[in-house]
Homo-oligomer: A and B are copies of this chain.
Amino acid sequence: MNIEERIQAAMERHFQEIVSLDTPPTLRAAMEHALFPGGARIRPQLYMAVAMVSGDDCPALTDAGAVALELMHSASLVHDDMPCFDDALTRRGRPSVHAAFSEPVALLTGDALIVMAYQVLLSESTKRQLSGEQTHRILKMMSVLSQGVGAPHGIVAGQAWECESKVDLWKYQRAKTGALFTASVFMGAIAAGANPEPWREVGESLGDAYQIADDIRDVVGHFSLIGKPTGQDLEHGRPSAAQALGLEGANLEFKRLIECAANGVPFCDGREILRSMIYKEAERLVPQNEYQKFVQLAKLKNTHAASVL
């Protein structure tokens, strides 16, 4: 079973267990719609890769952490797509939750997914006889996850910066995307009983890179490629690295951050595997061939995109 399959199996198992058939049927269907089929599931993959190179001595706990991360990320997408935010009718090429169900159901779905993230981790504390040290891993994983999501620095705070008239771009991006990436690598180490601190550089650099990639894709991307409407940043007046640095500056910064992340991987048995996973993900995020084609085309046609080159 590879990492993707392991995450998928864990997602299905925990969903069946917690979102039982007693759940109001529409809420259950909406939660399922938000989670299956998933997107790239890059956060739980990164998390699991870190847990595996750190020993993965509690596989059920490792699985739970992966699910919790994906639940929090999915909750933020469901709420982010709602009419009062992005008003996005599609997500991953399918109707967004509020479009497929309704606004009230989308609101409740996000809430239920947030709570479920904790339920998944808490269920591990009751299922088997854990040592005191293992119990503390669960508490630490929940703390790190909460920091990645809540106030003052988590993804909710990141979205809240969008509602301020004066925003520090880096503070905003660090919270909006970086916080959950850092939480991912930290949780991976903690799940395996390892020290999370050596993984900070990887998490922070990847988080920053991912946000910049999002900004680049918002300018460059085609609807068919990323499965959601593009040009959202400009339309919603959101701070964007592609605007602040120019598109080419943003791409250079993206590549620099990927190097930081890859070089930041601590020396360990699976180091090369993790490094190549990071480079592969970078290529998926911003395919450099396509990027170069777009830049040339934009220069030729002098489109709107060219104005941010």
Chain A positions within 8 Å of B, measured between CB atoms, are 18-28, 31, 75, 79, 82, 84-85, 102-105, 107-108, 110-112, 114-116, 118-119, 122, 125-126, 132, 135-136, 138-139, 142-143, 146, 149-154, 156-157, 159-164
Contacts and interface: CB of A to CB of B under 8 A. Distances in A.
A25 B107 CA distance: 23
Given A84-B107, A112-B150, 19 more contacts: A18-B152, A19-B151, A21-B152, A24-B157, A27-B160, A27-B163, A79-B107, A79-B108, A84-B104, A104-B159, A104-B163, A112-B156, A112-B157, A115-B154, A119-B146, A122-B139, A125-B136, A125-B143, A132-B132
B152 A115 contact: no
A156 B115 contact: yes
Copies of this chain, tallied across the complex: 2
Which label, helix, strand, loop or mixed, suits the secondary structure of the A interface?
helix
Contacts of A21: 152
A26 B112 contact: no
Contact of A135 (B31, B116, B122, B139): B139
A109 to B, nearest CB: 8
Contacts of A84: 102-104, 107
Nearest to A85: B104
Contacts of A118: 118, 142, 146
Nearest to A153: B22
B157 A139 contact: no
A104 B108 CA distance: 15
A9 to B, nearest CB: 20
B23 A115 contact: no
Nearest to A148: B115
A138 B140 CA distance: 13
A106 to B, nearest CB: 8
Given A24-B160, A82-B107, A31 B151 contact: yes
Nearest to A102: B163
B25 A164 contact: yes
Nearest to A26: B163
A19 B104 contact: no
Nearest to A158: B24
